[in-house]
């Protein structure tokens, strides 16, 4: 075995990305994961092979998994004891470790001090880093990685599940939110903002899908529909039956759901705290607003909801074009390039 992957809270989209990456390697590759918080059906079927499930808080050795250390190990983060121990063994055996890092650049005091700590204590452990997109690249540079050590394309939705639907002008007048019902996602603020201008948009509805403690805090309204969690395979049709996808988070390291929505041709309504906006938000497909500013959020809703048909055509095309920069095929190519560089 020359290559192995680890992933925290292994989600189904990661399994869908890993499968073509492993196939491109042309030889067996182990996948080690910690379990996701929300159970996802068909994980190993999506991956096409068994997964080595571990407790991330416990030290794990390759021998415990019935494996020998690979030559190249893709390590998820630097804070998981299980993955840290596996990475240490790989280096001790003469192999190389590529860091999988989804943090985004924020330029705050914590990152300024964190960058100095990482360069001193962590950087020497990793021969390369794979980040989601442009914001992650900037942070990786601050953490001491050279440009040639940084690769983009860590995350991406599967275009076999999330793909373009009818023209936006023919879709229901629907705004879609997908995510946890928690404070960081500002789902309550989104619902309140929509309710405040709903009389100006009499044909529009807001649909929210997810779970979490704030579900009962969402304001009751005749045109706000609150739904529970749905499996990833069900989400594709939801995106294709919406005109606008909204993610008003106070912070979002990247935001895979934005890629899902862009692949589906949706207009994007994003706060300025979304990491993936740098990859998928263009001038024609997105309305952006300051995170937490609900008046600006309401105006952004009005801006997109009153778009003319020709603007909708341009928005849909731009979402699809920008979405093509990420996905399983791109991830597989990046993995192959990293393996070639580190082998």
Supply the pLDDT for residue 207.
98
Q: In this structure, what token pair is assigned to residue 134?
A: 């442009």
Instruction: Tell me the C-alpha distance between 9 and 35, whole Å.
Output: 5
Query: CB burial class (10 A; 0-12, 13-18, 19+) of residue 190?
Result: buried
Instruction: Tell me the C-alpha distance between 228 and 234, whole Å.
Output: 12
Output the CATH code of domain 168-323: 3.40.50.2000
DSSP conformation letters of 66-94: T----SEEEEE-S--HHHHHHHHHHHHTT
Residue 39 has pLDDT above 80, yes or no: no
Binning the chain into helix, strand and coil, the percentages to the nearest 5 are 45, 15, 40
Across 80-94, 109-123, 252-266, least confident range? 109-123
Check: CB of residue 301 under 8 Å from CB of residue 197. Answer: yes
Sequence ranges of the domains in the chain = 3-156+326-342, 168-323
Q: What is the pLDDT of residues 137-194, one digit of tens each?
A: 999 999 999 999 999 999 999 999 999 999 999 999 999 999 999 999 999 999 999 9
Distance of CA 92 to the CA centre of its chain: 32
- Quote the percentage of the chain above a pLDDT of 90: 87
Residue 242 has pLDDT above 90, yes or no: yes
Check: CB of residue 175 under 8 Å from CB of residue 244. Answer: yes
Q: Which CATH class is domain 3-156+326-342?
A: alpha beta
Supply the pLDDT for residue 12.
83
> What is the rounded average pLDDT of the residues 239-267?
97
Q: Dmax of the chain from CA atoms?
A: 66
Supply the pLDDT for residue 261.
98
Q: How far is CA 57 from CA 34, 39, 88, 236, 302, in A?
A: 10, 19, 16, 34, 46
Check: CB of residue 130 under 8 Å from CB of residue 100. Answer: yes
How many other C-beta atoms are found inside a 10 Å radius of the C-beta of residue 108? 9
Residue 40 has pLDDT above 90, yes or no: no
The model carries a pTM of 0.90
Tell me if domain 3-156+326-342 and domain 168-323 are identical in fold: yes
Instruction: Tell me the C-alpha distance between 104 and 258, whole Å.
Output: 15
């Amino acid at each position: 075995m020359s290559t192995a992957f680890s992933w925290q809270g292994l989600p189904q989209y990661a399994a869908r990305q890993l499968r073509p990456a492993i196939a491109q390697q042309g030889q067996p590759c182990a996948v080690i994961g910690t379990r996701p918080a929300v159970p996802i059906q068909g994980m190993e079927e999506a991956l096409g092979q068994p997964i080595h499930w571990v407790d991330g808080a416990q030290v794990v050795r390759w021998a415990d998994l019935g494996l020998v250390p690979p030559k190249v190990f893709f390590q998820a983060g630097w804070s998981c004891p299980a993955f840290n121990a596996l990475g240490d063994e790989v280096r001790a055996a003469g192999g190389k470790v590529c860091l999988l890092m989804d943090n985004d650049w924020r330029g705050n005091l914590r990152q300024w001090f964190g960058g100095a700590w990482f360069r001193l204590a962590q950087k020497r452990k990793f021969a390369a880093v794979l980040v989601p997109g442009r914001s992650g690249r900037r942070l990786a540079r601050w953490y001491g990685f050279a440009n040639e050590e940084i690769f983009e394309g860590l995350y991406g939705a599967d275009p076999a599940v999330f793909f373009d639907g009818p023209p936006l002008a023919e879709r229901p007048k629907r705004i879609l939110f997908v995510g946890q019902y928690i404070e960081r996602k500002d789902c309550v603020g989104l619902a309140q903002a929509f309710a405040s201008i709903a009389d100006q948009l009499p044909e529009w509805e807001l649909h929210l899908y997810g779970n979490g403690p704030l579900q009962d805090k969402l304001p009751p309204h005749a045109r706000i529909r609150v739904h529970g969690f749905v499996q990833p395979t069900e989400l594709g049709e939801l995106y294709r039956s919406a005109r606008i996808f909204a993610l008003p988070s106070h912070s979002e390291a990247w935001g895979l759901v934005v890629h899902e929505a862009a692949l589906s041709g949706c207009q994007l309504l994003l706060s300025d705290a979304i990491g993936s906006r740098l990859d998928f938000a263009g001038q024609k497909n997105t309305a952006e607003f300051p995170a937490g500013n609900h008046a600006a959020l309401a105006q952004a809703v009005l801006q997109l909801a009153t778009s003319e048909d020709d603007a909708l055509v341009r928005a849909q095309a731009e979402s699809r074009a920008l979405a093509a920069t990420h996905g399983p095929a791109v991830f597989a190519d990046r993995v192959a390039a990293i393996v070639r560089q580190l082998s």
